Amino acid sequence: MNLEKIMTDLEKKHPGEVEYLQAVREVLESIQDVMKEYPQFEAKGIIERIVEPDRVLTFKVPWVDDNGKVHVNIGYRVQYNNAIGPYKGGIRFHPSVNLSILKFLGFEQIFKNSLTSLPMGGGKGGSDFDPKGRSDAEIMRFCQSFMLELWRLIGPETDVPAGDIGVGGKEIGYMYGMYKKLTLEHVGVLTGKGLNWGGSLIRPEATGFGAVYFTQEMLATRGETFKGKKVVVSGFGNVAWGAVSKVTELGGKVIAISGPDGYVHDPDGISGEKIKYMQVLRASNQDIVKPYATEFPGATFVAGKRPWELKCDVAMPCATQNELNKADAEALVANGVFCVAEGANMPCTPEAIEIFHRAKILFAPGKAVNAGGVATSGLEMSQNSLKLNWSREEVDEKLHTIMRNIHSACVKYGKREDGYIDYVKGANVAGFIKVANAMVDQGVV
């Protein structure tokens, strides 16, 4: 495999798609040995086929705000690869959404879903709609308009979207309502549904819980646990709150969370009532980080900065892509961090990852660490097909087992001769081999 030639060709074909090209390069760098070991992958054009999505739909999403003003956003669905199961991946509503970001997320999703061991292909979707500051009625009208186009492409055996940034239970509900009205079907076409209409227990907190279960396994490789560890988390969304809750339960102390405008440092630890306080603000679409520092004495709001400048043992970036750069990584390492686990998708830049690898600290990528979210979505799909609901304990146990297995797969494919575990390589290789073999079996389609 000629990596540089493949990348040069892709850059020509998809100029300016920075995040997509970054994600592809990372995977291709990891699988160079695999391509030598399995010559059939080259012969069957697996790389050329896997880097391009099966199809991309873009559509207009017109909607009317509470003042009667008409707005038009762009909607997307990227159906990347369905070699091992129906397309599966979240929907993101954020003003930064563009095709490059959705292609990077969809591409990553292929390998993440493969790692879960559940039969799910990769996809992603979203819109440049900004839900911040919008009323419930506006969000509902937007979601309905979005689904008026999307419903044609999706189905419980075809493509099963879920939430992501800006899309939680409320938005899934509004989209599901419109899908049901258009198709007359009450089926498991979206995951992250409400508990009384097909959702799974644990799904809202699954990504954060799973991330912490995975990190627990990483710490165990060095004979460590979360007990007494100082943990810094970025964001305070779906992923971050689950992670903060579980870290606290396991005896760790979360000393910071963040938002786009800065971070809050609470040396006493963010737990119990403090977490509940933030959840209430989140549910009503309000700012969290600044009010937290006013509400709880001892906490400080640090405007315009990222939390990576704090001294901590474990860092969990849980907000968005490329939010932790080389300088942040250097500061973390200088301050003694020994474990970085990506709760978000691709939050660390390639230069930051290089710093972590060089310092030989524990570092694991989002596609392994945050796979608990989609794994529990897979469990929701199973419950929908079986037409029954598993208990909280059953789902949590299955999630925990899946995360342990993903960790073992990363160790199997990522352990170097000197004993250091390259989780990036481990996750990419483990995820890739299964999908590539399925593509070989199914012919050139």
Are the C-beta atoms of residues 277 and 292 closer than 8 Å to each other? Answer: yes
Smallest distance from the beta carbon of 371 to ligand NDP, in angstroms?
Answer: 8
Of 31, 6, 23, nearest in space to 431 by CA: 31
Alpha-carbon distance 208 to 194, whole Å? 18
Q: Which is nearer to ligand NDP, 47 or 101 (CB)?
A: 101
Query: Residue 270 has which token pair?
Result: 């963010």
Q: Which is nearer to ligand NDP, 50 or 368 (CB)?
A: 368
| 365 belongs to the binding site for ligand NDP (CB under 6 A) | no
Amino acid sitting at position 184: L
| 396 belongs to the binding site for ligand NDP (CB under 6 A) | no
Q: Which is nearer to ligand NDP, 41 or 366 (CB)?
A: 366
Smallest distance from the beta carbon of 322 to ligand NDP, in angstroms?
Answer: 9
Query: Residue 219 has which token pair?
Result: 């710490």
Q: Is the dihedral of CA 336, 342, 348, 353 positive or negative?
A: positive
Region at 315 (left for phi over 0; alpha for psi -120 to 50; beta for the rest)? beta
| 199 belongs to the binding site for ligand NDP (CB under 6 A) | no
| 188 belongs to the binding site for ligand NDP (CB under 6 A) | no
| 210 belongs to the binding site for ligand NDP (CB under 6 A) | no
Alpha-carbon distance 312 to 335, whole Å? 7
Smallest distance from the beta carbon of 321 to ligand NDP, in angstroms?
Answer: 6
Scanning 66-74, 178-186, 272-280, 343-351 for contacts with ligand NDP by CB under 6 A, the matching segment is 343-351
Contact track, ligand NDP, 156-175, x by CB under 6 A: -------xxxx---------
| 344 belongs to the binding site for ligand NDP (CB under 6 A) | yes
Residue with tokens 């044609």: 152
Beta carbons within 8 Å of 116's beta carbon, 6+ residues apart? 371, 374, 375, 378, 402, 406
Please select the residue that binds ligand NDP; options are 75, 121, 122, 237, rule is CB under 6 A.
237
| 430 belongs to the binding site for ligand NDP (CB under 6 A) | no
Alpha helices in 284-349 (DSSP H): 289-295, 326-334
Smallest distance from the beta carbon of 163 to ligand NDP, in angstroms?
Answer: 5
Please select the residue that binds ligand NDP; options are 45, 228, 260, 267, rule is CB under 6 A.
260
Q: Which is nearer to ligand NDP, 17 or 164 (CB)?
A: 164
Alpha-carbon distance 433 to 220, whole Å? 27
**What is the strand order of the sheet 314-316 is part of?**
300-303, 262-265, 253-259, 230-233, 314-316, 339-341, 362-364
| 19 belongs to the binding site for ligand NDP (CB under 6 A) | no
| 323 belongs to the binding site for ligand NDP (CB under 6 A) | yes
| 239 belongs to the binding site for ligand NDP (CB under 6 A) | yes
| 426 belongs to the binding site for ligand NDP (CB under 6 A) | no
Alpha-carbon distance 423 to 47, whole Å? 21
List 44, 88, 103, 124, catalytic entry: 124
Site for ligand NDP, residues 262 to 321, rule: CB under 6 A: 318-320
What is the DSSP track for 417-428?
A: TTS-B-HHHHHH
Task: Name the residues annotated as catalytic.
Answer: 124
Binding region for ligand NDP (CB under 6 A): 163-166, 207, 235-240, 259-260, 318-320, 323, 343-345, 370, 373
